Amino acid sequence: MDEVSRERAHRAWRAADRIRRLSDDMIRIGPWGLGLDGVLAWAPGVGTIYSLGAGGLLLYEATQSGASKATLGRMAAWLAADSAFSGVPVVGWAIDTFFRGHRMAARALQRDIERRHGRPALEPETELRPDSLRDVTPGRT
């Protein structure tokens, strides 16, 4: 595979981080987290579609970042298990709620990228939050 640029790899790292947070870490309670993957698991069909879509995006980012075959294999195994659980009514949905396959796959990709390109610099905040508002007093810049 062609050498992947550091910038492209770091974009993949950030995309994996967003997918991880959305899928499995929107709400954090100690070491546990819950996200769209766990919530949507209880909606027949919708959970499976979400799980496959988010997993597909993670694998796409992994291939674009030049992840190793071992990393791709681990990611695929965790994502396949996660998607399979969401297809089994009630018991599978309960397991899917607590099985954080997207998180494990995203972290595997991030570790692979960090090993090859280092950890990316933090992105500037894109959301407007009260603690990130700058002083907009007239006459001050």
Cα gap 3→137, rounded to integer Å: 48
Which of 4-13, 30-39, 68-77 bottoms out in mean pLDDT, i.e. has the lowest? 30-39
| pLDDT category of residue 138 using cuts at 50, 70 and 90 | very low
pLDDT of residue 124: 55
Q: Is the dihedral of CA 92, 98, 99, 101 positive or negative?
A: positive
Average pLDDT of the segment spanning 42-49: 91
Which of 10-19, 82-91, 104-113, 132-141 bottoms out in mean pLDDT, i.e. has the lowest? 132-141
* H-state helical runs in 26-100: 36-40, 46-64, 69-86, 91-98
Average pLDDT of the segment spanning 71-91: 93
Amino acid at 137: T
| pLDDT category of residue 141 using cuts at 50, 70 and 90 | very low
pLDDT digits (tens, 9 = 90+) for 49-73: 999 999 999 999 999 999 999 999 9
Q: How many CB atoms lie within 10 A of CB 28?
A: 12
